[in-house]
Amino acid sequence: MKLAALQMVSTPDVGRNLEAAARLIAEAAAQGATLASLPEYFCLMGQDDRDKLRIAEDDGQGPIQDFLAGEARRHGLWLIGGTLPIKAGNGERVRNACCVYGPDGTRAARYDKLHLFAFDNGKERYDEAVVLEPGDAPRAVQAAGLRVGLSVCYDLRFPELYRAMSFECGAAPCDVISVPAAFTYTTGRAHWELLLRTRAVENQCYVVAAAQGGKHENGRRTWGHSMVIDPWGEILSVVEEGEGMAIADFDAERIKEVRVQLPALGHRRL
């Protein structure tokens, strides 16, 4: 079984972004991927944060959700649909929702990003809470016979979330953790690989991290470096910048081997 992390450099044009996503999904399917993930904000990197409100969809219906369902069905794979804005509250804010679709096009799960990014170093300033409403619960899903933990971008900095998705959302640890992201160039260069490999090592599972990676038309630059990581923290595949795909084999025996040799998950006291 192969896991694929699809890297994009999304634009302010939804149509162009869907075309790029379709191209990458088709490539992943052609290379034998069973599970593929798009990056955070795959459908829109707008000129302004409030552009998300303009394209926000009702839960369960809309052209972006229809696109994801159709691509999963067309290629017969499990698709983690990065994120898209789904309406929340009174319409002044949205949820940054990660929807997962099975090979028949049916939605299997929805996870809303719990932790909202804020950053200000005097040169760059971001505050997702201006338009986003946080989610309210961790989520894991059964996909392709695997237990897949769902997270998004800034969530990566909160290790307790990954413990919760294994030990509160179910009886077994995750086989795979998904991290669709749009890390900034500044924070990504410093922390992206470090945090991803740490999550893989401490949870002794595979990590599939699909990222935005490059210079966007809105002037923002994202770090990229989409990757697939094994349970020992080894990077199996990476694409540094620009549109592309990181793809690698999932090996259930590798997880067993790591967890038997170093039974850290069984040694938990808290």
* CATH number for 6: 3.60.110.10
Residue 95 has which token pair?
């949820």
Question: With bands split at pLDDT 50, 70 and 90, how would you rate the model's confidence at 218?
Answer: very high
- For this structure, is 113 an active site residue? yes
Catalytic residue among 52, 71, 99, 113: 113
Residues 6+ apart with CB under 8 A from 204: 173, 231, 255, 258, 259, 262, 264, 265
Q: Are 45 and 182 in contact (CB under 8 A)?
A: yes
Segment 236-256, tens digit of pLDDT: 999 999 999 999 999 999 999
- For this structure, is 19 an active site residue? no
Q: Are 96 and 131 in contact (CB under 8 A)?
A: no
Structural domain contains residue 265: no
pLDDT at 146 > cutoff 90? yes
Structural domain contains residue 264: no
pLDDT at 78 > cutoff 70? yes
Structural domain contains residue 111: yes
pLDDT at 171 > cutoff 90? no
pLDDT of res. 170: 66
Structural domain contains residue 31: yes
Q: Three-state SS for 51?
A: helix
Structural domain contains residue 217: yes
Q: What's the rounded Cα separation, in Å, for the pair 83 and 13?
A: 15
pLDDT of res. 168: 76
Structural domain contains residue 64: yes
Segment 85-108, tens digit of pLDDT: 999 987 789 999 999 999 999 999
Structural domain contains residue 143: yes
- What does R_g of the chain's alpha carbons equal in angstroms? 17
Q: Are 137 and 95 in contact (CB under 8 A)?
A: no
Structural domain contains residue 45: yes
Catalytic residue among 153, 193, 205, 241: 153
Question: With bands split at pLDDT 50, 70 and 90, how would you rate the model's confidence at 9?
Answer: very high
Q: If you average pLDDT over residues 123-139, what whole number do you get?
A: 95
Q: If you average pLDDT over residues 164-172, what whole number do you get?
A: 80
- For this structure, is 153 an active site residue? yes
Segment 13-66, tens digit of pLDDT: 999 999 999 999 999 999 999 999 999 999 999 999 999 999 999 999 999 999
Domain count, the chain: 1
Residue 102 has which token pair?
């099975």
Give residue 176's domain range.
2-259
